[in-house]
Amino acid sequence: NSCTTEDRREMQLMWGKVWSAQFTGRRVSIAQAVFKDLFHNVPAAVGLFDRVDGSDVNSNKFKAHCIRVVNGLDSAIGLLSDPSTLNEQLAHLATQHKERTGVTKSGFAAIAQSFLRVMPQVASCFNPDAWSRCFNRITDGMTEG
């Protein structure tokens, strides 16, 4: 159940189609859709995002947070082909998340589910198995230690 070379190429293709879409606005709205889904399923998570106006996902503050998250995911997906650098990048993201109390493994499982619901709506030829294996590879690296 690991993120194989084939999985990784598929994930990069699925993501690339979303990413190369002309407008940054699309990336923001994909992340907003993911967070709306997450907050709907785990209302208690909203409070973690007070500093970035989590109670108003349409606020400019929250949209700026969204683009930071999506950029973080983009660099991780790109680095799947370079595992040693990926591990450093994920360790860095792990530190950033550890500093915020309340961000747990179950939170990562919940966001994985939210991506799985949003991505098929925005990516063509979405392969949920390859996506999930590589998404787990990324979030495992963010929650270890």
Which stretches of the chain bind ligand HEM, using CB under 6 A?
45, 48-49, 51-52, 65, 68-69, 72-73, 93, 96-97, 100, 103, 107-108, 111, 138-139
Q: How far is the CB of 66 from ligand HEM (least distance, A)?
A: 10
Q: Which is nearer to ligand HEM, 13 or 52 (CB)?
A: 52
Query: What stretches of the chain adopt beta strand conformation (E)?
Result: none
Block residue for tokens 């994909």:
30
Q: How far is the CB of 103 from ligand HEM (least distance, A)?
A: 4
Block residue for tokens 């990926």:
86
Q: How many CB atoms are located within 10 Å of the residue 66 CB?
A: 21
Q: How far is the CB of 128 from ligand HEM (least distance, A)?
A: 16
Q: How far is the CB of 5 from ligand HEM (least distance, A)?
A: 21
Q: Which is nearer to ligand HEM, 10 or 114 (CB)?
A: 114
Distances (CA, A) of 91 to 12, 111, 115, 133, 135: 21, 19, 21, 19, 15
Q: Which is nearer to ligand HEM, 10 or 141 (CB)?
A: 141
Q: How many CB atoms are located within 10 Å of the residue 9 CB?
A: 14
